[in-house]
Chain A
């Protein structure tokens, strides 16, 4: 199901970010630290929340995007930088008026207390959570037991008040037990038709290969890949590892030993040909390691897939070549938009949206830099 709009509050550097009328190809540009990655992460978390934050290939997005960067202690500083805010909110609205919403709550419990007291306090939430709801929360020890209870009651009432109006899957809490970060109530594993290729998430080419094989698409995809890369004879899985057979070489080369550009192209080709399992593809700087010819190839493939309504793309890029190739394809004129992001001197994020015609005019007629100053 296509994402129609996106609303983000207090996530990363984004205090209040709203994008309506999303298209099938949405490209985010702008200087570093303007929130491009945060937008991609936020929409990925919100979209996958309906499936317990697992992507189409079973990768744990919550763990990889939100937690594992530098440990949970980093979450507060990295994701809710607005110190006045005690929660972040991510929401996507889909074409059928369904919306997925995630709240990331951060109770302001600060100083240290003995572990056993904090564990009891956490147990209150845990018990409640197991009965009623999934929660994401970073619990920090408080000074006194009373203090903890007060904080928790405040938090529970917040959760309860939301519980009345929202579905159970809207909220989730991560808590801390014995110094370890635990995600409560994530026992149910599901797959969301989304793939995020970016920092923190390694999408396995082997898994994609296996899925294509299972769906009977592998021969076709590899055939077309071989046409584009004349030296590639075949790619086969041998004992769980992929090997590339090349013309003129007697022995195959393990995929892991091939160049980064080759692996990136293969990943992209596999991803966009997988079919119904993937509806939304989120890519951080997909042009990395790619020769211009390969950039042209993947952009045209993207336009073709988006045009026939199979996949919606959200992409960040710093490369003009990528944008030029994307805007070259006339087929993309109704389905492509560029979102240019700015960080204002006070840290607020400002942005503008350019449709295909505006972006192309800027690029070809004005000969301006679409990526901004």
Chain B
């Protein structure tokens, strides 16, 4: 079974950073989009590339993922979503689980059959449709804003040509790459 892969993050610079990691560290081609309808257009392709979607802020990132989970219900492929937000990890995970559960339970959102939502201790949320797709959401929270982390490291404004090798020893970067690998593998 084929897999659709989507990375959702908050902002444009985050998206560019993820694109760089995918390209340089994992040799994976990706496409950055800054509007959900553009992501949806790509997802209509039979074999879409990995999409990096910058939702444009924290409130939108939560709204978008609920909307996408709903729209992806009839997909035949498995769906893997990386959900990367600058926030406390538990807060992100709990909020996302709570919002998704609430969304799924709304009587008018999934008719006539609702999907099942399960969670795992290592930050995975699975939304499984009995006769449709299984959407696995890998949640990763960056304790401080990604931009702040990078600024601290380089003590300057983020530049496009930043070298990932300088980040290799950073714990947060290692974990981030592990999480990305879980999404794309």
Contacts and interface: CB of A to CB of B under 8 A. Distances in A.
B95 interface: no
Contact of A365 (B60, B70, B113): B60
A318 B97 CA distance: 33
A350 B111 contact: yes
Interface stretch (B11-19, B71-79, B139-147, B155-163): B71-79
Contacts of A365: 60, 63
A368 B67 contact: yes
Contacts of A345: 74, 76, 131-133
Between A31, A350, A361, A372, the greatest number of chain B beta carbons within 10 A of the residue's beta carbon is seen for A350
Contacts, number: 69
A343 B109 CA distance: 15
A367 B35 contact: yes
A373 B108 contact: no
Nearest to B129: A344
Interface string A333-347: 000000010111110
B158 to A, nearest CB: 25
B73 A362 contact: no
B71 A366 contact: no
Interface string B72-101: 111110000000000000000000000000
A342 B73 contact: yes
Given A368-B36, A372-B71, A350 B43 contact: no
A77 interface: no
Main secondary structure of the interface of A (DSSP, over half): mixed
Contact of A352 (B60, B63, B111): B111
A342 B73 CA distance: 8
B112 A343 contact: no
A348 interface: yes
Contacts of B72: 373
B67 A342 contact: no
Nearest to B76: A345
A352 B110 contact: yes
Contacts of B182: none
Contacts of B74: 31, 342-345, 350, 373
Contact of B44 (A342, A348, A361, A373): A373
A354 to B, nearest CB: 8
A73 interface: no
Interface string A6-36: 0000000000111000000000000100000
B112 A18 contact: yes
4 closest residue pairs by CB, A with B: A353-B108, A368-B36, A342-B74, A346-B131
Interface of A: 16-18, 31, 340, 342-346, 348, 350-353, 361-362, 365-369, 372-373
17 contacts: A18-B111, A343-B74, A344-B74, A344-B131, A345-B74, A345-B133, A346-B131, A350-B73, A350-B132, A352-B108, A353-B111, A362-B67, A366-B67, A367-B36, A369-B37, A372-B71, A373-B43
Given A345-B76, A352-B110, 19 more contacts: A344-B73, A344-B131, A345-B131, A350-B74, A350-B132, A352-B108, A352-B111, A353-B109, A362-B67, A365-B60, A365-B63, A366-B36, A368-B67, A369-B36, A369-B40, A372-B71, A373-B43, A373-B71, A373-B75
